[in-house]
């Protein structure tokens, strides 16, 4: 009887730790910005006069993550721009 209880506890803990480990692994993954969002931001930038260089991090580089640009806030799960 005690052996069955120990096995049950072991399996319950295994499930709990698996769920916690999976959630923490997915929380650490950040989505990078969508290409369409990056292009739209660059087009928007062209319509502005940036006399003080506030948008200097907004580079036309396909490898650039627009979510890391100054003044841009993205949703970490979707990669879409949420706020400027």
Question: What confidence score (pLDDT) does residue 39 get?
Answer: 95
User: Are both 2 and 40 inside the same structural domain?
Assistant: no
User: Are both 40 and 64 inside the same structural domain?
Assistant: yes
User: Are both 39 and 75 inside the same structural domain?
Assistant: yes
Question: What confidence score (pLDDT) does residue 45 get?
Answer: 95
Q: pTM for this structure?
A: 0.62
User: Are both 39 and 21 inside the same structural domain?
Assistant: no
Convert the pLDDT of each residue in 15-56 to its tens digit: 556 665 545 444 556 778 899 999 999 999 999 999 999 999
Buried b vs exposed e over 15-32: b needs ≥16 C-beta within 10 Å? eeeeeeeeeeeeeeeeeb
User: Are both 24 and 39 inside the same structural domain?
Assistant: no
User: Are both 45 and 77 inside the same structural domain?
Assistant: yes
Question: Could you tell me which residues come within 8 angstroms of residue 83 by beta carbon, excluding any fewer than 6 positions away?
Answer: 72, 73
Q: Which domain holds residue 7?
A: 1-29
Question: What confidence score (pLDDT) does residue 31 get?
Answer: 78
Share of the chain above pLDDT 70, in %: 65
The number of domains in the chain is 2
């Amino acid at each position: 009887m005690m052996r069955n209880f120990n096995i049950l506890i072991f399996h319950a803990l295994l499930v709990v730790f698996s769920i916690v480990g999976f959630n923490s692994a997915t929380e650490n993954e950040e989505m990078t910005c969508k290409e369409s969002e990056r292009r739209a931001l660059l087009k928007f930038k062209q319509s502005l006069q940036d006399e003080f260089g506030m948008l200097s991090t907004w580079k036309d580089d396909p490898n650039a993550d627009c979510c890391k640009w100054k003044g841009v806030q993205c949703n970490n799960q979707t990669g879409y721009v949420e706020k400027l």
